[in-house]
Structure 1
Amino acid sequence: MDTLKILLLFLPFLGHALQADETNALAWEVGYELRWEDFRGVPPADKTVAATTASGISYSFKTKGLPGQYTLDYEVVAYFYPEKSWYHPELSNAGVLMHEQLHFNITELYARKMRKILSGRTFGGNVRGEVREVFSKINRELKVFQDRYDLETDFSRNQQAQEQWNKRIAKRLEESHP
């Protein structure tokens, strides 16, 4: 049996695969909405950014089946990292918090996408490498999507675009299975 646990940590303009540490992390849950109290990181002195959400995808798996025809028992979870997430209270409001919530929701959408890929696939002899390849692809797509979200909403300042994204992401979450 092969077991591996990795996560994607999303910070604006940055994505990294790191050893997973979910000790203080919040797993994405239907109905849970982030609160400013969840943002426990120390904000930088530079106040050009109101808030930052650190969220990521963590996965682990075990192989089953015959060589060349492996399937997986797996877990894929979207996490929010309070100690790496921060905000400037004087620059932040309910609109900024909703913007940050959507970053976390987008991470969950890509966790669901990864679950779907892993569930419908068999793996060859290099399962770890094949799963890492799936993860890397999801990671790249997630980063592009998160960057597009920030660009189109102007980091929550374009309220009309923000509302469109709120509806789009809510619909996608509703249509996809956790």
Structure 2
Amino acid sequence: MSINDFRGLPDEASKAVAITASGVSYQLAAEINNNEVHVDCNIGAYFYPNESWYKVHLADGKTLGHEQLHFDISELMAREFRRRVKEKKFSANVKREVKVIYKEVTDSLNKLQNLYDKETNFSINDEQQELWRHKIAKALEETKAFKD
């Protein structure tokens, strides 16, 4: 991710210096044969450049590092979603069951993003920013089996 990826118009009324619009989405295909549910669920973490922005006059190198971790948190939660789908024994209500997992994952994603901003004070707290950088890097390494 580079600063040029942030193509949205900044909200000058916002206290934020930058916003990363990212999240997790999925496409589901499921088939039931002989009472066995076969699931093909394409799950990804996405960055939305046209909804992401930064204030040129306030952003610095720390800003991009902070925003990169927001996307990395989305990737981490996409991996959690993949893990849960892979390990789940689905019933004939597979679409509903996947939606439940998706809602739980996105709720956790939102809480984690908010906690990250709170604990780092939106990148101002250098010590917490570094702790989060290590924490997310470690979690991504531990979940690399669910990268794609």
2:62 equivalent to 1:90: no
Aligned residue pairs, count: 145
Whole-Å separation in 2 of the counterparts to 1:61 and 1:68: 18
Other-structure match for 1:37: 4
* Cα distance, 1:54 vs structure 2: 0.1
| TM-score, normalised via structure 2 length | 0.93
Specify every segment of 5 or more residues in structure 1 that has no aligned partner in the other structure, as ranges: 1-33
* Cα distance, 1:47 vs structure 2: 4.9
Higher fraction of helix: 2
Q: State the one-letter code of the partner of 1:103.
A: H
Other-structure match for 1:58: 25
Go from structure 1 to structure 2 and tell me whether the alpha carbon gap of 1:125 and 1:87 turns closer, same or farther (over 3 Å shift).
Answer: same
- Aligned 8 A contact 1:64 1:70 in 2: yes
SS at match of 2:57: helix
Other-structure match for 2:132: 165
- Aligned 8 A contact 1:71 1:122 in 2: no
Go from structure 1 to structure 2 and tell me whether the alpha carbon gap of 1:131 and 1:38 turns closer, same or farther (over 3 Å shift).
Answer: same
Specify every segment of 5 or more residues in structure 2 that has no aligned partner in the other structure, as ranges: none
- Aligned 8 A contact 2:32 2:92 in 1: no
Other-structure match for 2:142: 175
Give the one of 74, 94, 100 matched to 1:107: 74
- Aligned 8 A contact 1:67 1:124 in 2: no
| TM-score, normalised via structure 1 length | 0.78
Q: Structure 1 segments of 4 or more deviating over 2 A?
A: 64-69
SS at match of 2:36: coil
